[in-house]
Chain A
Amino acid sequence: MTAVAQAHDSHDDHGPVKGIRRWLFSTNHKDIGTMYLVFSLTMFFVGGAMAMVIRSELAIPGLQFVHPEFFNQMTTMHALIMIFGAIMPAFVGLANWMIPLMIGAPDMALPRMNNWSFWILPIAFSMLLSTLLMPGGAPAAGWTMYPPLVLQTGDAFPFLIFSIHLMGISSIMGAINIIVTIINMRAPNMSLLKMPMFVWTWLITAYLLIAVMPVLAGAVTMLLTDQFFGTSFFLAAGGGDPVMFQHIFWFFGHPEVYIMILPAFGIVSEIIPVFSRKPLFGHDSMVYAASSIAFLSFIVWAHHMFTVGMPFTGQLFFMFTTMMIAVPTGVKIFNWVATMWRGAMSFETPMLFSLAFVFLFTIGGFSGLMLAIAPADIQYHDTYFVVAHFHYVLVPGSVFAIMAGAYYWLPKWTGHMYNEKLGKWHFWLSTIFVNLTFFPMHFLGLAGMPRRIPDYSTQFADFNAIASIGAFGFGLSQLLFVWVILSARKGKLATAEVWDNPPGLEWTVPSPAPYHTFETPPNIGANIGFEK
């Protein structure tokens, strides 16, 4: 590949200001990306601590540690924090760091808005977490906030709604920034179909965000006015319909699950070719598959609510459209496997996480297909089978992809290699424990254990004990992740390319990436990014 390593040591290349002002007022995409990632990791541990409370209570039958009300607060807050505080900001952080480097842009298109979209998040989450200290406690009606139950939330209710508004505003600003950057700031000669997959999947994700976050904002606004301003959107007494909330919520909620997985698809599509030493198989079909998934995500929402009483034709429609999503997803998985086929594979930590992603995400995909079968879903609905399904797609799915990306790009960010041996330990511990945690939940669900309960019948005891051991192991293993990141400061110096001949513009700048990169657009030939 053409090495256009750029040394930015000219006189006008000023570094960041010192101290806290660098972070508070930063408009630099790398600083903001770092802040997003640190914030996300922090929230990952906050939400993780809540998961530990849940698993402690469920380790043995009976009520031992927490009150049922507090248990419900934990499940609700765990979900809200992991979705909006850990996974989504991690992807936005990676986008901030990598998209300008991958498309040869000097920064994000709207740097001041970028600063805002980050700093709204700590405010939103301080507000959400503060509800734990309020009379009546934190929201406890589940992250889906179904009325009328959610309207019984105490003082926390308006804080819940307003923090969701803020998270939505932050996501929308981030999405607008990413779209404008990708559309307007690509290096000359980089046509849309030459963009790296991570950039592509983020472009699609950003459009999904703009399409559905406002709908969520509308839905929670209706909850707010129902509670405080006398409207009856969802109150049957006033002529409203609580089931309508579920329709509006899942119109947001289903695209939301693809918001949390499409960038993960992008990350593993970057990593697998490098460690297979082959170009990505079927780049363009990957783009079409991701776009089809995004389109289909808008017409499947009611598969979350097969049990509310839907007419037969409605059930058939949502069942078949849901199953149709397996086709583009299958294309992607086929392409990843085909990329590895006869490649000179090596198994560094980012590759291990990516391989586990492909395998374990597929398990989550298959349980999703089982749930899509409307008559069977009547049995699975609101059981631990659902919990097993969405944790398989989110933990060894999204979270593993984020970790793969973190290991893959960490040398570019810090200029130092992480400790490969510890990275592998982190991988194996995480993979073993994640399966120990979530695999038994399939059996629990099929046996009929309902979700969102603090106590259960004794026949579920063994699998729950196993899941709790797995959860504690997984939680502790993540401390190792933090240690690997922190100890990378002392790791050996990374080269600009870091890995074995990786494609992509981000590897043409030195490691660590200078504070300002690509102030003049890179001169790229006809075949950049991935070699076709």
Chain B
Amino acid sequence: MPEHDDNRSLVAQLLIMTVAMFGFGFLLVPLYDVFCEITGFGGRPNAAAAAAVEMPDLKREVRIQFVTTVNSNARFEFAPDVSNMTVHPGKMYYATFTAKNLTSQHKVAQAVPSIAPVSAAEHFTKIECFCFTTQDFLPNEERAMPLQFIVNPELPEYVDTITLQYTFFDLET
């Protein structure tokens, strides 16, 4: 019967639509990442450290604040060695953070960064960061972790303070 054929093809189309939308839900994950990386939305710092050229703008000063949080599942101490510094855009700076494993077990941890305000995220370039990789900690180990960064001179005029926030996670719990 032709009517049954009509039904069958329409049902097939609708089922394909359903499966496609299920896939689209998962496709949103990489799309979201790409979107955030291109735009710096969501305070996501530029992961790909572009070859940074030093062009210091000595007339301008920007305050960098370091904020750290230890996730509730991690038994660590984690803090910046200096909690804020004043920098010139276009100049390379170093900062160190200290983390301590409070347990007597071997631990693998990672710090996840976030930058505020959003409009500063794409202009804050990390050349070297402990957050790029997972960190192994021996029992009760305490060590300093380096950060090397440069603030892009194209940072919008109205930004005078950038907050770099790290959350420290224990990857084994």
Residues of A at under 8 Å CB distance from B? 109-110, 172, 175-176, 179-180, 183-185, 210-219, 222, 233, 236-239, 241, 243-244, 247-248, 251, 309-311, 314
Residues of B at under 8 Å CB distance from A? 3, 6-7, 10-11, 14-15, 17-19, 21-26, 28-29, 32, 36, 39, 41-43, 71, 110, 112, 116, 118-119, 167, 169-171
Minimal beta-carbon separation of B166 from chain A (angstroms): 11
Q: A214-B22, A248-B28, A309-B118 are in contact. Are A241 and B42 (CB under 8 A)?
A: yes
> Do A309 and B42 touch across chains, with their CB atoms under 8 A apart?
yes
CB contact between A311 and one of B18, B41, B112 (< 8 Å): that residue: B41
Q: A236-B167, A244-B32 are in contact. Are A179 and B118 (CB under 8 A)?
A: no
Contacts of A213 in B (CB 8 A): 18, 21
CB closest residue in chain A, given B20: A214
- For the complex, would chain A's binding face be called helix, strand, loop or mixed by DSSP majority? helix
Contacts of B26 in A (CB 8 A): 218, 222
> Do A241 and B6 touch across chains, with their CB atoms under 8 A apart?
no
Q: A179-B14, A180-B11, A236-B169 are in contact. Are A214 and B42 (CB under 8 A)?
A: no
> Do A219 and B25 touch across chains, with their CB atoms under 8 A apart?
yes
Minimal beta-carbon separation of A87 from chain B (angstroms): 22
Contacts of B110 in A (CB 8 A): 237
> Do B112 and A239 touch across chains, with their CB atoms under 8 A apart?
yes
> Do B22 and A184 touch across chains, with their CB atoms under 8 A apart?
no
CB contact between A314 and one of B28, B41, B71 (< 8 Å): that residue: B41
A444 to B109, CA, bound (A): 44
Contacts of B36 in A (CB 8 A): 241
Contacts of A216 in B (CB 8 A): 25
Contacts of B18 in A (CB 8 A): 172, 176, 210, 213-214
> Do B10 and A212 touch across chains, with their CB atoms under 8 A apart?
no
A180 to B3, CA, bound (A): 11
> Do B21 and A237 touch across chains, with their CB atoms under 8 A apart?
no
Q: A218-B26, A309-B118, A311-B41 are in contact. Are A110 and B7 (CB under 8 A)?
A: yes
> Do A110 and B11 touch across chains, with their CB atoms under 8 A apart?
yes
> Do A214 and B25 touch across chains, with their CB atoms under 8 A apart?
yes
A467 to B43, CA, bound (A): 41
> Do B119 and A311 touch across chains, with their CB atoms under 8 A apart?
yes
Minimal beta-carbon separation of B36 from chain A (angstroms): 8
> Do A183 and B21 touch across chains, with their CB atoms under 8 A apart?
no
CB closest residue in chain A, given B43: A309
Minimal beta-carbon separation of B171 from chain A (angstroms): 6
Q: List 17 A-B contacts (CB under 8 A).
A: A175-B14, A176-B11, A176-B15, A176-B18, A179-B14, A183-B10, A210-B17, A214-B25, A217-B22, A219-B25, A236-B112, A237-B171, A243-B42, A244-B32, A247-B28, A309-B43, A311-B118
Minimal beta-carbon separation of A295 from chain B (angstroms): 16
> Do A184 and B25 touch across chains, with their CB atoms under 8 A apart?
no
Contacts of B43 in A (CB 8 A): 309
A101 to B17, CA, bound (A): 28
Considering residues A179, A211, A241, which has the most beta carbons from chain B within 10 angstroms of its beta carbon? A241
CB closest residue in chain B, given A244: B32
A176 to B15, CA, bound (A): 8
> Do B112 and A214 touch across chains, with their CB atoms under 8 A apart?
no
CB contact between A241 and one of B10, B24, B32 (< 8 Å): that residue: B32
> Do B21 and A215 touch across chains, with their CB atoms under 8 A apart?
yes
A452 to B26, CA, bound (A): 30
A233 to B22, CA, bound (A): 16
> Do A176 and B14 touch across chains, with their CB atoms under 8 A apart?
yes
Contacts of A110 in B (CB 8 A): 7, 11
CB contact between A214 and one of B7, B19, B118 (< 8 Å): that residue: B19
Minimal beta-carbon separation of A299 from chain B (angstroms): 14
Contacts of A218 in B (CB 8 A): 22-26
Minimal beta-carbon separation of A219 from chain B (angstroms): 6
Minimal beta-carbon separation of B99 from chain A (angstroms): 14
Give the 8 A-B CB pairs with smallest separation, nearest first: A218-B25, A237-B169, A214-B22, A214-B21, A215-B25, A176-B14, A311-B118, A236-B112
Contacts of B71 in A (CB 8 A): 236-237
> Do B7 and A109 touch across chains, with their CB atoms under 8 A apart?
yes
Contacts of B15 in A (CB 8 A): 176
Contacts of A215 in B (CB 8 A): 21-22, 24-25, 28
Contacts of B23 in A (CB 8 A): 218
Contacts of A185 in B (CB 8 A): 3
CB closest residue in chain B, given A185: B3
A179 to B10, CA, bound (A): 9
A233 to B110, CA, bound (A): 16
A175 to B126, CA, bound (A): 50
CB contact between B17 and one of A180, A211, A217, A222 (< 8 Å): that residue: A211
> Do B116 and A309 touch across chains, with their CB atoms under 8 A apart?
yes
> Do A180 and B28 touch across chains, with their CB atoms under 8 A apart?
no
CB contact between A184 and one of B3, B41, B116 (< 8 Å): that residue: B3
CB closest residue in chain A, given B8: A180
> Do B29 and A244 touch across chains, with their CB atoms under 8 A apart?
yes
A247 to B24, CA, bound (A): 13
> Do B7 and A180 touch across chains, with their CB atoms under 8 A apart?
yes
Minimal beta-carbon separation of A471 from chain B (angstroms): 36
- Knowing that A176-B18, A212-B21, A215-B22 are A-B contacts, what are 8 other residue pairs whose CB atoms are under 8 Å apart, sorted by A's residue number? A184-B6, A184-B10, A211-B21, A218-B23, A222-B29, A237-B110, A241-B32, A311-B118
CB closest residue in chain B, given A252: B25
Contacts of B167 in A (CB 8 A): 236
Contacts of B41 in A (CB 8 A): 310-311, 314
Minimal beta-carbon separation of A154 from chain B (angstroms): 17
Minimal beta-carbon separation of A526 from chain B (angstroms): 24
A219 to B19, CA, bound (A): 14
CB closest residue in chain B, given A181: B7
Contacts of B14 in A (CB 8 A): 175-176, 179-180, 210
Contacts of A309 in B (CB 8 A): 42-43, 116, 118
Contacts of B3 in A (CB 8 A): 184-185
Contacts of A214 in B (CB 8 A): 18-19, 21-22, 24-25
